Amino acid sequence: MSGLDALDLARIQFAFTVSFHILFPSFTIGLASYLAVLGGLWLWTGREVFHTLARFWSRIFAMSFGMGVVSGVVMSYQFGTNWSRFSDVAGNVLGPLLSYEVLTAFFLEAGFLGIMLFGWNRVGRGLHFFATCMVAVGTLISTFWILSANSWMHTPQGHAIRDGRFFPEDWLQVIFNPSFPYRLAHMVLAAYLTTAFVVGAVGAWHLLRNGRNEAARVMFSMAMWMATLVAPVQIFAGDAHGLNTLEHQPEKIAAIEGHWETSRGMPLFLFGWPDMEREETRLALGIPHLGSLILTHSWDGEVRGLKEWPKDQRPPSTVIFWTFRAMVGLGMLMALTGLLALWLRWRGQLYDTKLFHHAAVAMAPAGFVAILCGWITTEMGRQPWVVHGLLRTSDALSPVPAHNVAVSLAAFVVVYLIVFGVGVFYILRLMRAGPETVHVPVPEGVRAAPMRPLSAAGGTVESGGRAR
């Protein structure tokens, strides 16, 4: 650990724990809404397949939600343990926002989660549907508050600074700060897409084994509708978010684009290696004028370059140049998948095109990778600030010695890899077992093909007897 000081270690620990954490909420935000839709469709149509799917996905939801909760409790304490100076300085603004998240979202989710997961036989269908809706609404309210708090760190407003501390003056301005609406829309859509591609991949995987599996067909179709409809909207929302960033954090955009000199007719680099020392982007391969066209919506628009900011105020371009491109590339792939699905659906081949099913399986992690890349881009793009332009990350640290942070970081790495590795393994097994193993009445004809031989390991997941 030599060479890493307390600041580096605390940043690595926060990045590591929050990156793991975000994977689970991203998935459960979308899945909760999906479960609400399935529950509603079951109530409305009475078709058993929706019930089967709801049962199946709620087991996976339970696993993912549990891991989101335990990794989230870590986050709520880490502000104080590792960033106590930040907590003291910004607590008046951020503390109430996070408190509202707990009051309006966490309790709502937790209060109705028990009924949603364990109450199938204890309450009526309507009430069960209501509980599912409350959980889904809870996840969205939670997204609202946490992104409001995060956005304020990017585009702070509505506060005054006295004695080096932030004091709220106008709560509406604090909550609805300039980057918040864009970030919220972008994140919710990202969560929905992430879930859609997981659901689609599971559907496709089971279609590859049995093309007549009704549950697999329904979930695949629903997921592909989401891809077709939401991915283009997401590209639009992402573009709007980028323009908002250009307005409020222009140095972040310059770093994302590896753009050093303020100029008109900026090219869009497809490849390159931004070098922070040499202040240039090496091996650059770009399309002339496209950068200006995208960012300013004009052929010769002027975009400010990184050299306009002092060296100690430049975000690390080398990293976010690439994370941004990975995110956008994946977004394009998702939109392409949605278009292909629409075309196949129109041709009546959505359920028979094996190659497309293989592609859909391969796209399963696309949303997660895109979300991680997007968050790395926006958060590293805020550096060296923790509150943009006002408080440096290095001034936010706790007075905790480096070796303590090294110990906790090592513990988190080991524990997360074991615990969440096992959790993901169980989730994959549940997915592989498929909806037909859920012990609920299934109408004739659904189990057209013989069930796959169950794994010899004889575990509970495989036998599906623990249906929830």
Partner 1 sequence: MSIDLPLVFAAIIAFGVIMYVVMDGFDLGVGILYPFFKDRGDRDVMMNTIAPVWDGNETWLVLGGVALFGAFPMAYAVILPALYLPLMLMLVALIFRGVAFEFRFKAARTRPLWDFAFAAGSTVATFCQGLALGAFVQGIKVSGRGFAGGTFDWLTPFALFTGAALVAGYAMLGCAWLIMKTEGGLRDRLFAMMRPIGLVVLAFIAGVSLWTPFHDPQIMTRWFSWPNIAYLSPVPILVALLGLGLVRAVRRRHESGPFLYTLGLFVLSYAGLAISLWPDIVPPDVSIWDASGAPESQRFLIVGMAILIPVILGYTGYSYWVFRGKVRADSGYH
Q: Is 122 in the site for partner 1 (CB under 8 A)?
A: yes
Q: Is 132 in the site for partner 1 (CB under 8 A)?
A: no
β-pair type (280-287, 268-275)? antiparallel
Q: Which is nearer to partner 1, 172 or 355 (CB)?
A: 172
**Least Å distance between CB 118 and partner 1?**
4
Q: Is 62 in the site for partner 1 (CB under 8 A)?
A: yes
Specify the length of the chain in residues. 468
411-430: which residues touch partner 1 (CB under 8 A)?
Answer: 411-412, 415, 419, 422-423, 426, 429-430
In the list 15, 19, 40, 66, the residue contacting partner 1 (rule: CB under 8 A) is 66
Q: Is 119 in the site for partner 1 (CB under 8 A)?
A: yes
Q: Is 73 in the site for partner 1 (CB under 8 A)?
A: yes
Q: Which is nearer to partner 1, 87 or 262 (CB)?
A: 87
Q: In this structure, what token pair is assigned to residue 326? A: 């990975």
383-412: which residues touch partner 1 (CB under 8 A)?
Answer: 398-401, 404, 407-408, 411-412
Q: Which residue has the tokens 């659906």?
A: 345
First to last CA, the chain: 45
State the Cα–Cα distance between residues 444 and 448, nearest whole angstrom.
8
From residue 355, alpha-carbon distances to 199, 290, 329, 349, 362 in Å are 17, 34, 21, 11, 11
In the list 1, 102, 332, 417, the residue contacting partner 1 (rule: CB under 8 A) is 102
Q: In this structure, what token pair is assigned to residue 440? A: 């609920």
Q: Which is nearer to partner 1, 349 or 460 (CB)?
A: 460
Q: Which is nearer to partner 1, 264 or 439 (CB)?
A: 439
Stretch that binds partner 1, among 100-108, 229-237, 298-306, 326-334 (CB under 8 A): 100-108
Q: Which is nearer to partner 1, 257 or 436 (CB)?
A: 436
Q: Which is nearer to partner 1, 297 or 466 (CB)?
A: 466
Q: Which is nearer to partner 1, 75 or 446 (CB)?
A: 75
User: What are residue 179's phi and psi, to 5 degrees?
Assistant: -90, -10
Residues sharing a CB contact under 8 Å with residue 137, sequence separation 6 or more, in sequence order: 108
Q: Residue 323 in 3-state DSSP? A: helix
The burial class, CB within 10 Å (0-12 / 13-18 / 19+), for 164 is exposed
Q: In this structure, what token pair is assigned to residue 67? A: 């891991």
Q: Is 114 in the site for partner 1 (CB under 8 A)?
A: yes
The burial class, CB within 10 Å (0-12 / 13-18 / 19+), for 195 is buried
Evaluate whether 168 touches 174 at the Cβ level (below 8 Å).
Answer: yes
434-463: which residues touch partner 1 (CB under 8 A)?
Answer: 457-462
253-292: which residues touch partner 1 (CB under 8 A)?
Answer: none
151-210: which residues touch partner 1 (CB under 8 A)?
Answer: 167-169, 171
Among 93, 101, 94, 97, which Cα is nearest to 73's? Answer: 101
State the Cα–Cα distance between residues 105 and 110, nearest whole angstrom.
8
Stretch that binds partner 1, among 76-84, 182-190, 195-203, 307-315 (CB under 8 A): 76-84
**Least Å distance between CB 70 and partner 1?**
4
Q: Which is nearer to partner 1, 194 or 408 (CB)?
A: 408
Q: Is 32 in the site for partner 1 (CB under 8 A)?
A: no
State the Cα–Cα distance between residues 211 and 205, nearest whole angstrom.
10
Residue 411: half-sphere exposure toward Cβ, Cα within 13 Å: 7
**Least Å distance between CB 348 and partner 1?**
39
In the list 15, 37, 98, 140, the residue contacting partner 1 (rule: CB under 8 A) is 98
**Least Å distance between CB 127 and partner 1?**
9
